[in-house]
């Protein structure tokens, strides 16, 4: 077998493999099918480019034999059946006394069938994703996909339930009706949960084939129009539910292929299991009518928009395995532009936050992913788990035009100023000086220190304290030493001699407190002004120059003094907007620290760093050009 390595593949080919594997695995996650850990390992190696497709298929086939090696196969010939096996029945799809579908492996254990069946279908999916697109999309292609997915698992693969199916054992299976299994309590307005009757499936297929043919397989449409029509057709096909099992996986790859042929992309890997169930359930009651299917359309909007897919993928990728499994039990969506929301903040990722909101059409909460850049830095920094968040989805223009948003810093309260005064180095030093004299004057300084602390809160209290000590020093606390029958010992005399010095120290302390309070307030005002500065994105013209060669950059800027001015303004504004620490993190490409400090996403921090570095390089180039020009003039003179 030919040796194969990732170096044989281009970046694009490796990216395609990664997308294929993610799609193949997640379509099973949606169905709550846990793939074998070794199956996942083989898929991962294939995604990394370590196997050719032929090698992948051979390895998957060998491992399937390993899975089945110790499985005890079912024997039905001696079993007492709960029905007459020679009559057509829906029970003939399953083994006697079980809910396990008859299968080619002879496996009567639901969990084992799920594992080996999932192994087979995930292999088939990888191969199907590599197949060329069909000439037309219709029910024949849908049946082909189902057959390819399940031909190793079920005899009836590719056969819809509109006709009876005769098994090799002679039994005949029919499925005239099917119902969706779900918790009624999930939904406020319970709609019909029955799928199309088998007798109507042919007519539904005819409608589907005719619609797709008349609309040229939904090709030539804008993404918005494609989403609307595809969502309707997806809901309709889900309502038809043409196969006894495997409808979801078949339907998803059908629509992925349909989208690809139409020049669009659907990424179901960002759809949680719970969301798929809810969308399917809520759209069933209107799938065969022109009624509203907003939840299905919303899902197709999310999975067809590259920007929202990227945001959702980033949030999902930040989860560990346990969090990911828990997320499958939640309805996780993106917000609609222009809509307002009230919800509870749950958690975050480097790029986004998760907010729990309630909707009137379902009892369970909806979890929405908001990109951090949709919110202000003030909101991001203040968020704590459990906080209520009021939010309006901004327009793209609001986000695109701003590089570093403003942050509203609230004025300092009196208590905040006092707290800062108390820990100020100058105040602490003065406090130690005052305490030296206080210990000379007083036997215990606890009461005195309590009085001193009031100066930090009331900058004029030092005058009140000085007068009290001068008039009646022992009204604060007992003086050091002893005084008996008019006799004063040396400590008492020392205490009396140091009273005036203590009041002078208190006066100095009070003056320092006033200076420090003023300094703190002024520094805060400067910080407020700095944070209120909005740094706009450089103009498109300037960003275009960033990407030119040096010679072309020189030429472009020489003919545009206005762009030179914009460049200088941009660099100056970024510097003035950032703290010294933030500027260092910017230069050192410490994106996480920079993002947390400013209150933005990490991707926005990377954008700031990239544009600033490009701007600095361009600024340095301009300076060198000007110096060379000056040197040439001097030499000429």
pLDDT tens by residue, 202-256: 999 999 999 999 999 999 999 999 999 999 999 999 999 999 999 999 999 999 9
CATH code, domain with 381:
2.40.50.140
Of the listed ranges 107-121, 171-185, 450-464, 604-618, the one predicted with least confidence:
171-185
Given this model, what pLDDT does residue 560 score? 86
Q: Which of 484, 501, 531 is the last residue of a domain?
A: 531
Q: Is residue 350 part of a domain?
A: yes
**Closest C-alpha among 253, 155, 264, 161 to residue 205:** 161
**In 241-376, beta strands by DSSP E:** 331-333, 340-348, 352-359, 362-371
Of the listed ranges 67-81, 436-450, 456-470, 526-540, the one predicted with least confidence:
67-81
pLDDT confidence of 22, banded at 50, 70, 90?
very high
Structure-token match 């300084």, residue found: 445
Burial of 117 (0-12, 13-18, 19+ CB in 10 A): buried
For the record, the structure tokens of 496 come out as 């009396």
pLDDT tens by residue, 228-237: 999 999 999 9
188 versus 55: which is more confidently predicted? 55
Tell me, yes or no, whether 421 and 394 share the same domain.
no
pLDDT confidence of 189, banded at 50, 70, 90?
very low
3-state DSSP of 389-404: EEEECCCHHHHHCEEE
Q: Phi/psi at 179 (nearest 5 deg)?
A: -130, 150
Alpha carbon of 37 to those of 90, 122, 417, 468: distances in Å? 34, 13, 58, 80
Given this model, what pLDDT does residue 72 score? 63
Given this model, what pLDDT does residue 363 score? 77
Given this model, what pLDDT does residue 339 score? 83
pLDDT tens by residue, 391-404: 887 766 667 889 99
Tell me, yes or no, whether 421 and 524 share the same domain.
yes
Q: Is residue 489 part of a domain?
A: yes
Tell me, yes or no, whether 427 and 487 share the same domain.
yes
Alpha-carbon torsion (233, 124, 27, 266), positive or negative? negative
With a cut of 80, say whether residue 464 has pLDDT above it: yes
Q: Is residue 128 part of a domain?
A: no
Q: What angle do CA 302, 307, 309 make, to 5 degrees?
A: 45
Q: Whole-prediction pTM value? A: 0.82
Q: Is residue 618 part of a domain?
A: yes
- Compute the distance between CA of residue 128 and CA of residue 257 in angstroms, rounded to an integer: 10
509 versus 184: which is more confidently predicted? 509
**Closest C-alpha among 392, 332, 341, 391 to residue 364:** 332
Tell me, yes or no, whether 352 and 386 share the same domain.
yes
Q: Is residue 171 part of a domain?
A: no
- Compute the distance between CA of residue 300 and CA of residue 225 in angstroms, rounded to an integer: 11
Mean pLDDT of the chain: 90
Tell me, yes or no, whether 440 and 389 share the same domain.
no
Q: What angle do CA 461, 466, 470 make, to 5 degrees?
A: 150
Which domain does 387 fall in, by range? Answer: 335-400
Q: How many CB atoms within 10 Å of residue 593? A: 15
Q: Which of 370, 400, 430 is the last residue of a domain?
A: 400
Q: Phi/psi at 209 (nearest 5 deg)?
A: -60, -45
Tell me, yes or no, whether 484 and 573 share the same domain.
no
pLDDT tens by residue, 413-432: 999 999 999 999 999 999 99
- Compute the distance between CA of residue 44 and CA of residue 40 in angstroms, rounded to an integer: 6
Our count of domains for the chain comes to 3
Q: Which of 531, 548, 569 is the last residue of a domain?
A: 531
Q: Is residue 197 part of a domain?
A: no
- Compute the distance between CA of residue 628 and CA of residue 378 in angstroms, rounded to an integer: 46
Given this model, what pLDDT does residue 340 score? 86
Given this model, what pLDDT does residue 286 score? 59
Q: For 23-33, what is the mean pLDDT?
A: 96
Q: Is residue 281 part of a domain?
A: no
Q: What angle do CA 557, 561, 567 make, to 5 degrees?
A: 70
Any residues with CB less than 8 A from the CB of 76 and at least 6 apart, and which? 95, 96, 169
Pairing relationship of beta strands 165-166 and 172-173 according to DSSP bridges: antiparallel
- Ramachandran assignment for 318, one of left (phi > 0), alpha (psi -120 to 50 degrees), beta (any other): alpha
Q: Find out whether 229 and 218 touch, Cβ atoms under 8 Å.
A: yes
46 versus 74: which is more confidently predicted? 46
Q: Phi/psi at 363 (nearest 5 deg)?
A: -75, -35
Tell me, yes or no, whether 385 and 485 share the same domain.
no
- Compute the distance between CA of residue 217 and CA of residue 150 in angstroms, rounded to an integer: 25
Please spell the DSSP secondary structure of 221-253, one letter per residue: --HHHHHHHHHHHHHHHHHH--SSS-HHHHHHH
Residues in the chain: 637
**Closest C-alpha among 575, 620, 18 to residue 267:** 18
Tell me, yes or no, whether 553 and 583 share the same domain.
yes
3-state secondary structure of 23: helix
Q: Calculate what percentage of the chain has a pLDDT beyond 90.
A: 79
Any residues with CB less than 8 A from the CB of 461 and at least 6 apart, and which? 454, 455, 510
Burial of 41 (0-12, 13-18, 19+ CB in 10 A): exposed
Tell me, yes or no, whether 478 and 420 share the same domain.
yes
Tell me, yes or no, whether 520 and 544 share the same domain.
no
Tell me, yes or no, whether 374 and 359 share the same domain.
yes
Q: Is residue 395 part of a domain?
A: yes
In angstroms, what is the C-alpha Rg of the chain? 37
Given this model, what pLDDT does residue 298 score? 95
Q: Find out whether 576 and 442 touch, Cβ atoms under 8 Å.
A: no
Given this model, what pLDDT does residue 122 score? 98
Q: How many CB atoms within 10 Å of residue 598? A: 24
- Compute the distance between CA of residue 584 and CA of residue 594 in angstroms, rounded to an integer: 9
Tell me, yes or no, whether 509 and 544 share the same domain.
no
3-state DSSP of 573-618: HHHHHCCHHHHHHHHCCCHHHHHHHHCCCHHHHHHHHHHHHHHHHH
3-state secondary structure of 122: helix
Q: Find out whether 176 and 198 touch, Cβ atoms under 8 Å.
A: yes
Q: Calculate what percentage of the chain has a pLDDT beyond 70.
A: 90
With a cut of 90, say whether residue 361 has pLDDT above it: no
């Amino acid at each position: 077998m030919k040796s194969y390595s990732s170096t044989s593949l281009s970046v694009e080919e490796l990216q395609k493999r990664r997308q294929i594997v993610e799609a193949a695995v997640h379509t099973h996650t949606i169905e709550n099918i846990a793939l074998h850990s070794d199956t996942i390992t083989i898929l991962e190696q294939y995604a990394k480019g370590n196997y050719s497709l032929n090698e992948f298929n051979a390895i998957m086939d060998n491992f399937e034999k390993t899975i089945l090696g110790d499985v005890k196969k079912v024997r039905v010939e001696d079993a007492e059946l709960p029905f007459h096996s020679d009559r057509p029945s829906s029970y003939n799809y399953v083994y006697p006394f079980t809910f396990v579908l008859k299968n080619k492996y002879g496996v009567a254990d639901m969990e084992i069938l799920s594992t080996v069946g999932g192994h087979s279908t995930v292999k088939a999916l990888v191969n199907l994703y590599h197949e060329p697109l069909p000439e037309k999309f219709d029910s024949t292609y849908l049946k082909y996909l189902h057959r390819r997915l399940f031909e190793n698992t079920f005899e009836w693969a590719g056969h819809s339930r509109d006709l009876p199916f005769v098994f090799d054992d002679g039994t005949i299976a029919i499925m005239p009706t099917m119902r969706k299994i779900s918790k009624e309590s999930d939904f406020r307005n319970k709609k019909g949960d029955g799928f199309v009757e088998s007798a109507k499936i042919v007519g539904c297929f005819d409608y589907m084939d005719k619609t797709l043919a008349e609309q040229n397989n939904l090709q030539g449409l804008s993404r918005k129009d494609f989403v609307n029509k595809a969502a309707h057709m997806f809901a309709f096909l889900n309502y038809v539910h043409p196969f006894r099992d495997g409808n979801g996986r078949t339907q998803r790859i059908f629509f992925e292929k349909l989208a690809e042929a139409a020049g669009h992309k659907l990424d179901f890997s960002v759809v949680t299991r719970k969301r798929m169930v809810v969308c399917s359930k809520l759209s069933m009651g209107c799938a065969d009518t022109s009624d509203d299917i907003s939840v299905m359309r919303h899902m197709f909007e999310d999975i067809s928009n590259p920007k929202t897919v990227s945001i959702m993928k980033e949030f999902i990728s930040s989860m560990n395995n346990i969090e990911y499994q828990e997320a499958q039990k939640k309805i996780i969506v993106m917000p609609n532009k222009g809509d307002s929301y009230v919800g509870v903040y749950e958690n975050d990722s480097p790029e986004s936050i998760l907010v729990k909101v309630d909707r009137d059409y379902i009892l369970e909460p909806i979890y929405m992913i908001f990109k951090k850049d949709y919110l202000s830095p003030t909101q991001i920094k203040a968020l704590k788990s459990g906080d209520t968040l009021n939010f309006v989805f901004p327009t793209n223009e609001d986000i695109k035009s701003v590089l570093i948003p403003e942050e509203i810093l609230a004025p300092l309260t009196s208590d905040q100023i006092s707290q800062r005064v108390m820990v100020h180095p100058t105040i602490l030093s003065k406090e130690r000086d005052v305490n030296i004299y206080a210990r000379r004057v007083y036997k215990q300084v606890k009461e005195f220190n309590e009085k001193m602390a009031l100066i930090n809160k009331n900058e004029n209290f030092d005058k009140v304290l000085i007068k009290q000590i001068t008039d009646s020093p022992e009204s604060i606390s007992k003086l050091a030493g002893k005084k008996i029958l008019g006799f004063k010992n040396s400590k008492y005399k020392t205490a009396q001699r140091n009273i005036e010095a203590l009041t002078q120290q208190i006066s100095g302390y009070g003056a320092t407190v006033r200076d420090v309070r003023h300094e703190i307030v002024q520094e805060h005002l400067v910080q407020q002004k700095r944070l209120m500065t909005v740094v706009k994105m450089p103009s498109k013209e300037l960003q275009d120059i960033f990407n030119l060669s040096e010679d072309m950059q020189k030429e472009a800027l020489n003919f545009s003094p206005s762009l030179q001015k914009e460049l200088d303004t941009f660099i100056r504004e970024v510097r003035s907007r950032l703290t010294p620490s933030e500027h260092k993190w910017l230069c050192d490409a410490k994106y996480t620290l920079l993002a947390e400090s400013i209150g933005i996403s990490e991707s926005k921090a990377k954008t700031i760093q990239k544009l600033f570095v490009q701007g600095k390089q361009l600024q340095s180039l301009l300076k060198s050009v000007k110096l060379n020009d000056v040197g040439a003039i001097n030499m000429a003179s």
